[in-house]
Amino acid sequence: MAKEVSQVAEKLVRPQVAAMDEILGKPFKLLDDGFIRVVDYMGSDESIVQAARVSYGKGTKKVHEDRGLIRYLMRHRHSTPFEMCEIKFHVRVPMDCWRQWIRHRTANVNEYSTRYSIAIDAAQATAPDEWRLQAKGNRQGSAGFADAETGERFSFSEARLHEFSREIYEERLTAGIAREQARKDLPLSTYTEAYWKIDLHNLLHFLELRMDSHAQYEIRCYAEVIGQEILRHWCPLTWEAFVDYRLNAQPLTGLEMELIREINAGNRDKVRELAVRNGWLPADPEAPVKRHRERDEFEAKLELLKLEKPW
């Protein structure tokens, strides 16, 4: 009986990753006063393959077989085994960036409360060369930067705003105004802190969206640190598969696959017919071609594949 208990205890040893133990509690600095650090983690690549093979019983597998299984799971989006791993972060992030972050509702969150505590005396400052211009083709994105003179002007006014709003906030506190009301005019650039715990499957979804080049720069900074500096060391086989099958992959729609088949067959008339039928191109060949987001996305994929546009 004692022998059986000993064997069970041996099997239940907590998976440890030396590279993760080295960075536990270490803050990775971001933006001007932000950071992210790992508070705790559970599981590893081995936990994923163990969960996936639970029905196979006893037996040992080589590393290359573990790699192959993880890549299969990622390729076919079998998500449950990845949910066996969890990680908890402590983050300091500007409130406007946190608003996007918190939309990922598949996590456990406990945020610093300015109802109970005095707001963190720090706000993200924008350097003169960091003011981005509104993208003309994307209502929620940016493209390019403001000129130096404009940048200097806005950085100066931003500093004045931060200073004044903090003065008003502290004046209210001194006068005995409730913290929950005194905070209401603090800028969204004010830093907040939170503990954020999430399983690996949902973390990968977060990274797929927030590491994308179209994601807002500030949250992309945090996502890239999570991916490159943390996940890559925590679950290297999973990270490798994620980069191959998610980050660097390009999904094709049914229409896009049909178009590529016709392009390869040299059927230019059929290609144009499909494009017109789906509203990508005007029926009149002489009419001006208006911007079409889905067509633009397809053209970007053709460029990645080194294929010429068929129209």
Contact indicator for 131, 154 with CB cutoff of 8 Å: yes
φ/ψ of residue 109, rounded to 5: -130, 140
- CA-nearest of 273, 271, 254, 275 to 262 is 271
Dihedral in degrees, nearest 10, Cα atoms 17, 19, 25, 26 = -170
How far is Cα 96 from Cα 210, in angstroms, rounded to an integer? 15
Helix (H, G, I), strand (E, B) or coil at 60: coil
- Catalytic one of 53, 75, 103, 210: 210
Please state the φ and ψ torsions of residue 140, each to the nearest 5 degrees.
-110, 15
Evaluate whether 215 touches 48 at the Cβ level (below 8 Å). no
3-state secondary structure (DSSP) of residue 301: helix
Residues 6+ apart with CB under 8 A from 182: 169, 172, 173
Conformation bin of residue 31: beta by default, left when phi > 0, alpha when psi is -120 to 50: left
Identify whether 210 is a catalytic site residue: yes
Catalytic sites, residue numbers: 210
